[in-house]
């Protein structure tokens, strides 16, 4: 392994138990180096671990006994406890709440794709989130901690294990709890393992990392894993309105984020996905649509990659919610269409189980902790929306 690879390995190994590291976060070359075994054995052991979630005491015929013993002495396959698994009554979405070893809970969503039996998994990358976007339930929690690479991978492995054959996980979306660019060492390691043929074998072109806008992370993403796609949450594009919805805009203005997204597009030849959550009376006016169309067209002209515009109908995030779903979706799209810009409307299912976009927080939705978090967050959201509205002409 090259020095860069060794440094990456060192930085992503969990410190939960130095003598028994989680096998899920290992690439075969890292495992072979760590326990000095043949790379072919390392691949077979990793494959076994990802398929079964266990390391057997007796060695299968295809794996050398000494290699398996060496791995068993240094590695384990910890899992996540399924605290809750809720199937939507409205559609085939499934929301999982996973309890971690320290008691924290993160949420994951199994998203059915158009082709029967194919799924995307929307994973969490942090417990909570520090970025405090006003329209997001997770943003109300604050940041508790980063997830380890194995905890991210395990969300996919457990969801996959619950899919009846011949169904499969087709793609992964980093759009659950947390800002993935703020935990990028572990997110990148998780993506390498998810794409590794002997581990989860997911085509990296079907993995999308969505950010609220951290330019340095976007640049690192295309330099280190150029096959992976980029999503950017816009919030609002009329000057002055975005910052009230997404405080991160104060540190990294949208123009800086778009410059980094343009570099990503040129380097990877992937068009970015721009997500825009429509909020009634906040960012859904014709003026907002016209500004969004101009932004998309300008981005395409400057970077040679037309962004895919994904409009997301707002989903309620609990008591004290200061936002409402916009009734102007069709009118908004019409303004964009008249300016030659196409959109897709994100079907954001599972809202009855809190699995829809922006709704991920803590399980139950009505528990004391959730209610407190929602209440504390609603104050921030209220001041954000007030600021947003005061930025609107004539407000």
Q: Residue numbers of the site for ligand SF4 (CB under 6 A)?
A: 129, 131-133, 136, 138-139, 177-179, 212, 233
Choose between 12 and 233: whose C-beta lies nearer to ligand SF4: 233
Shortest Å distance, C-beta 283 to ligand SF4: 14
Choose between 30 and 107: whose C-beta lies nearer to ligand SF4: 107
Q: How far apart are CA 341 and CA 356, in angstroms?
A: 26
107 catalytic residue (yes or no): yes
Dihedral over alpha carbons 35, 37, 40, 44 (to 10 degrees): -50
Is the previous residue joined to 166 through a cis bond, with omega within 30 degrees of 0? Answer: yes
C-alpha dist (Å) from residue 107 to 6, 120, 156, 231: 31, 14, 11, 20
Choose between 171 and 377: whose C-beta lies nearer to ligand SF4: 377
For 368-381, give the DSSP string.
HHHHHHHHHHHHHH
Closest residue to ligand SF4, based on beta-carbon distance: 139
C-alpha dist (Å) from residue 327 to 82, 204, 291, 347: 37, 36, 19, 15
Choose between 26 and 317: whose C-beta lies nearer to ligand SF4: 317
Of 133, 136, 198, 357, the active-site residue reads 357
Cβ proximity of 212 and 250 under 8 Å: no
Cβ proximity of 270 and 203 under 8 Å: no
Choose between 132 and 292: whose C-beta lies nearer to ligand SF4: 132
Shortest Å distance, C-beta 316 to ligand SF4: 15
For 50-76, give the DSSP string.
HHHSS--SSPPTTS-HHHHHHHHHHEE
Q: Which two tokens stand for residue 71?
A: 């791995």
Choose between 35 and 258: whose C-beta lies nearer to ligand SF4: 258
196 catalytic residue (yes or no): no
Shortest Å distance, C-beta 76 to ligand SF4: 30
In sequence order, which residues have a C-beta less than 8 Å from that of residue 46 and are 6 or more positions away? 23, 26, 27, 28, 31, 196, 198, 199
Choose between 71 and 177: whose C-beta lies nearer to ligand SF4: 177
Cβ proximity of 314 and 323 under 8 Å: yes
C-alpha count within 13 angstroms, C-beta hemisphere, residue 184: 17
Q: How far apart are CA 34 and CA 70, in angstroms?
A: 10
* Residue 34 φ then ψ, to 5°: -65, -35
Of 107, 151, 154, 196, the active-site residue reads 107
Shortest Å distance, C-beta 292 to ligand SF4: 18
C-alpha count within 13 angstroms, C-beta hemisphere, residue 160: 20
Q: Which two tokens stand for residue 247?
A: 């405080």
Choose between 172 and 341: whose C-beta lies nearer to ligand SF4: 172
Q: How far apart are CA 268 and CA 223, in angstroms?
A: 9
- Grouping H, G, I as helix, E, B as strand and the rest as coil, residue 231 is strand
Which residue is it, tokens 């949420």?
107
Shortest Å distance, C-beta 384 to ligand SF4: 11
Shortest Å distance, C-beta 234 to ligand SF4: 11
Positions marked catalytic: 107, 357
């Amino acid at each position: 392994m090259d020095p860069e690879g060794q440094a990456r390995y060192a930085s992503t190994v969990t410190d939960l138990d130095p003598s028994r590291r989680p096998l899920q976060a290992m690439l075969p070359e890292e495992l072979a180096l760590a326990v000095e075994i043949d790379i072919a054995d390392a691949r077979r052991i990793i494959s076994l671990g990802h398929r079964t979630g266990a390391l057997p005491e007796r060695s299968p015929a295809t794996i050398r006994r000494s290699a398996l013993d060496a791995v068993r002495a240094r590695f384990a396959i910890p899992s996540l406890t399924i605290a809750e698994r809720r199937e939507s009554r409205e559609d085939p979405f499934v929301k999982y709440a996973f309890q971690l070893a320290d008691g924290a809970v993160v949420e994951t969503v199994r998203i059915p794709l158009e082709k029967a039996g194919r799924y995307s998994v929307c994973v969490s990358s942090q417990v909570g989130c520090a970025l405090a976007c006003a329209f997001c339930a997770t943003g109300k929690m604050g940041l508790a901690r980063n997830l380890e690479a194995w905890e991210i991978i395990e969300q996919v492995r457990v969801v996959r294990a619950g899919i009846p054959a011949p169904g499969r996980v087709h793609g992964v979306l980093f759009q659950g709890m947390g800002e993935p660019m703020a935990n990028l060492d572990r997110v990148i390691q998780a993506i390498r393992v998810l794409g590794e043929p002997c581990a989860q074998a997911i085509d990296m072109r079907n993995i999308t990392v969505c950010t609220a806008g951290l330019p340095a992370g976007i640049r690192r993403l295309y330099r280190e894993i150029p096959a992976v796609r980029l999503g950017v949450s816009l919030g609002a594009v009329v000057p002055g309105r975005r910052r009230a919805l997404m405080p991160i805009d104060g540190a990294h203005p949208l123009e800086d984020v778009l410059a980094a997204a343009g570099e990503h597009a040129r380097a990877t030849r992937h068009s970015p996905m721009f997500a825009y959550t429509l909020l009634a009376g906040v960012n859904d006016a014709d003026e907002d649509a016209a500004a969004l169309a101009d932004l998309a067209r300008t981005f395409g002209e400057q970077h040679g990659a037309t962004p895919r515009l994904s409009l997301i109908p707002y989903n309620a995030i609990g008591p004290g919610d200061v936002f409402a779903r916009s009734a102007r979706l069709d009118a908004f799209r019409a303004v964009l269409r008249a300016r030659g810009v196409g959109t897709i409307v994100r079907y954001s299912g599972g809202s009855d189980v809190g699995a829809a976009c922006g709704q991920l927080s803590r399980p139950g939705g009505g528990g004391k902790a959730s209610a407190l978090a929602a209440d504390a967050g609603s104050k921030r959201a209220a001041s954000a929306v007030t600021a947003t509205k005061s930025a609107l002409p004539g407000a």
